[in-house]
């Protein structure tokens, strides 16, 4: 752990009690019953996500808390001379969306870097990189990209020969949208010292020409580090600018809380934005499980627990991704036998993941572990179960990120072990275009099996995995309730038996997501005394056909009682 980063975080740990004492924007008091509201919204449809009172037509806010939820007539008693009264004119009101899985700083930078996600031909792919090289000038790194080779017809992995002619002086390292594979050009390979004789690191793969052994430019998982470690670190101000851009983007889609699968060094950026009063979403930050010593060395009671910025716990990886053919399966890939995927760096040396999980649990820490393939999910469920049987019983709320492919007998283990399934519904309608080509139809039946997870007692928390998928929660809600693949080939849904109801999808982006961060008493539903995080939409999601959800617009986003976005 970098000493400067450690110093910043440890200072923050000590700083938190003073923040709470002084009340620097983090009020812990619910408004008085006799208080007059600052803002009243009336004449709308309020879906509270509270089982006790699921529907209302008006909402009152005092300070940063919800003062009252009820009928428009009930609001009259909290309207004072200074109360701002807003007629919703039938608009639809929900709790502010909580995105349970992002890579937020990368997302901010991606908004200004080369855009390859929509490149559907090699020529378009090359043209976009050439344009960015001309824009940046000689010697500048070309990064991000989020390309998807499955969109090419036929699908094929890009190679360095595609882009070498248009980037003779610019090093290129552009990632596939899942983040588990990059394309680099010859300039970047030379900087990293990668040749045909360079061995692949454990947990990674260097793709090579089958005839010559020369690297093609595709690096998978741990092999990506051979190049990425040479990319210049952005300055603090550059990071702050990227986060500010990302926050505006998220707020425009009604997102008020973000779970960031991040790094300890990013925490400094959020802390600086908090100090500048520019943090327009609540951040719940996970740092790599390899940094366990930093968090395990402090008492849990001293962890940041402000309303705006928290160290959540630890994030680990078991395997890679389906699109990069690095997700770990029991059986070989249908399109690339005998490969079954691979275990990534966090699993090496053998036994290290179990050791870290045991240590995290003894320290009372939450963990979130990435698992895509069915064997990867089985492996981490085994490890979770061993930890839970070994250590004392407690409310862990441990998470599996993606929980994408499962063997049938593992569904019930989520409920039994009380493991949270942190899923990204948009992936189902994206991967569903081509997943069966990679793993066959039978295994695909258990891909993003949301209904089966719920029926077996899992808590389903929803997110985007931005920048892998759009951060707009409405795209995820649409995907969860329709399962219509992006290519239009499954109008009734890809494995429609795995659809979930609209109220279940909304809960995944609100109350269930709050539950995963031990904050269901503070947010995730519109109830009196809870934080005033609210999103207002232009149409009632329950009164439109599911396929029209994507046409819905955000009218207003409210965070902590303040309007942070208005359309």
pLDDT surpassing 90 at residue 359? yes
The pLDDT score that the predictor gives to residue 17 is 37
Question: Inter-axis angle of helices 374-390 and 408-417, to 10 degrees?
Answer: 30
Q: Is the pTM of this model over 0.75?
A: yes
Average of pLDDT values for 177-202?
94
What are the backbone dihedrals phi and psi of residue 106, each rounded to the nearest 5 degrees, phi first?
Answer: -60, -40
Angle at 125 between CA 121 and CA 128, to 5 degrees: 135
Calpha distance 362→474 (Å, rounded): 38
The pLDDT score that the predictor gives to residue 302 is 41
Q: Which tens digits make up the pLDDT trace of 410-428?
A: 999 999 999 999 999 999 9
The pLDDT score that the predictor gives to residue 176 is 93
Q: Within its chain, how far is the Cα of 355 from the centroid? A: 26
The pLDDT score that the predictor gives to residue 8 is 54
| Higher-scoring residue by pLDDT: 438, 294 | 438
DSSP annotation of 184: E
SS3 of residue 337 by DSSP: coil
Domains 121-228 and 236-519 share a fold: no
User: Percent helix, strand and coil across the chain, each rounded to 5?
Assistant: 35, 20, 40
The pLDDT score that the predictor gives to residue 178 is 86
Architecture of domain 236-519: Alpha-Beta Barrel (3.20)
pLDDT band for 303, please (50, 70, 90 cuts): very low
DSSP annotation of 30: P
CATH domain 121-228 topology: Diaminopimelate Epimerase; Chain A, domain 1 (3.10.310)
Cβ-based neighbour number of residue 529 at 10 Å = 12
CB 203 within 8 A of CB 221: yes
Domain boundaries, the chain: 121-228, 236-519
CB 406 within 8 A of CB 439: no
Q: Measured on CA atoms in the order 328, 330, 331, 337, is the torsion positive or negative?
A: positive
Among 516, 448, 523, which residue's Cα sits nearest to residue 479?
448
Average of pLDDT values for 430-437?
96
Calpha distance 58→47 (Å, rounded): 10
Q: Which two tokens stand for residue 219?
A: 């690096």
Average of pLDDT values for 246-255?
98
In this structure, of 304-308, 347-351, 503-507, the range with the lowest mean pLDDT score is: 304-308
Strand partners, 287: 314
pLDDT surpassing 70 at residue 72? yes
DSSP for 241-275, please give it. Answer: HHHHHHHHHHHTTTEEEEEEE--HHHHHHHHHHHH
CB 167 within 8 A of CB 173: no
């Amino acid at each position: 752990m970098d000493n400067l980063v450690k110093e910043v975080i440890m200072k923050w740990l000590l700083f938190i009690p003073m923040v709470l004492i002084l009340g620097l924007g983090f009020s812990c008091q619910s408004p008085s019953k006799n208080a007059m509201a600052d803002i009243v919204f009336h004449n709308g449809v309020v879906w509270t996500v509270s089982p006790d009172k699921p529907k209302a037509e008006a909402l009152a806010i005092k300070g940063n808390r919800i003062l009252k939820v009820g009928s428009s007539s009930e609001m009259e008693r909290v309207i004072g001379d200074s109360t701002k009264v807003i007629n919703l004119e039938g608009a639809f009101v929900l709790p502010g969306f909580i995105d349970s899985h992002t890579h937020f700083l990368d997302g901010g930078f991606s908004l200004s870097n080369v855009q390859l996600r929509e490149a559907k031909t090699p020529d378009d792919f090359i043209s976009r990189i050439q344009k960015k090289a001309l824009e940046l000038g000689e010697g500048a790194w070309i990064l991000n990209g989020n390309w998807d080779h499955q969109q090419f017809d036929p699908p094929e992995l890009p190679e360095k020969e595609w882009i070498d002619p248009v980037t003779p002086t610019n090093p290129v390292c552009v990632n596939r949208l899942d983040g588990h594979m990059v394309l680099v050009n010859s300039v970047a390979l030379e900087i990293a010292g990668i040749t045909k004789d360079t061995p692949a690191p454990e947990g990674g793969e260097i793709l090579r020409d089958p005839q010559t052994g020369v690297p093609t430019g595709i690096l998978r998982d741990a092999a990506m580090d051979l190049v990425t470690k040479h990319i210049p670190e952005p300055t603090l101000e550059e990071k702050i600018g990227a986060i500010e851009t990302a926050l505006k983007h998220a707020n425009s889609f009604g997102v008020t809380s973000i779970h960031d699968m991040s790094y300890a060094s990013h925490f400094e950026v959020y802390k600086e934005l908090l100090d500048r009063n520019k943090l327009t979403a609540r951040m719940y930050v996970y740092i790599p499980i390899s940094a366990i010593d930093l968090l395990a060395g402090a008492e849990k009671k001293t962890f940041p627990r402000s309303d705006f910025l928290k160290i959540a716990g630890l994030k680990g990886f078991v395997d890679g991704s389906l699109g990069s053919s690095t997700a770990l399966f029991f059986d070989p890939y249908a399109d690339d036998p005998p490969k079954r995927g691979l275990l990534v760096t966090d699993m090496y040396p053998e036994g290290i993941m179990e050791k870290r999980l045991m240590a995290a649990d003894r320290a009372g820490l939450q963990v979130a572990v990435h698992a895509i393939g069915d064997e990867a999910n089985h492996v981490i469920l085994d490890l979770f179960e061993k930890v839970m049987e070994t250590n004392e019983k407690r409310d862990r709320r441990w998470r599996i990120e993606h929980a994408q492919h499962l063997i049938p007998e593992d569904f019930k283990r989520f409920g039994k072990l009380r493991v949270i399934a942190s899923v990204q519904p948009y992936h189902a309608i994206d991967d569903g275009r081509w997943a069966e080509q990679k793993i066959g139809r039978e295994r695909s039946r258990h891909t993003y099996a949301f209904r089966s997870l719920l029926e077996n007692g899992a808590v389903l928390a929803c997110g985007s995995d931005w920048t892998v998928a759009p951060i707009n929660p409405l795209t995820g809600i649409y995907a969860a309730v329709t399962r219509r693949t992006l290519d239009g080939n499954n109008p009734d849904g890809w494995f429609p038996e795995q659809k979930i109801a609209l109220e279940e999808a909304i809960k995944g982006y609100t109350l269930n997501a709050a539950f995963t961060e031990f904050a269901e008493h503070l947010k995730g539903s519109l109830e009196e005394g809870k934080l005033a995080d609210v999103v207002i939409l232009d149409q009632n999601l329950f009164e439109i056909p599911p396929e029209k959800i994507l046409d819905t617009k955000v009218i207003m986003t409210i965070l902590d009682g303040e309007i942070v976005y208005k359309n």
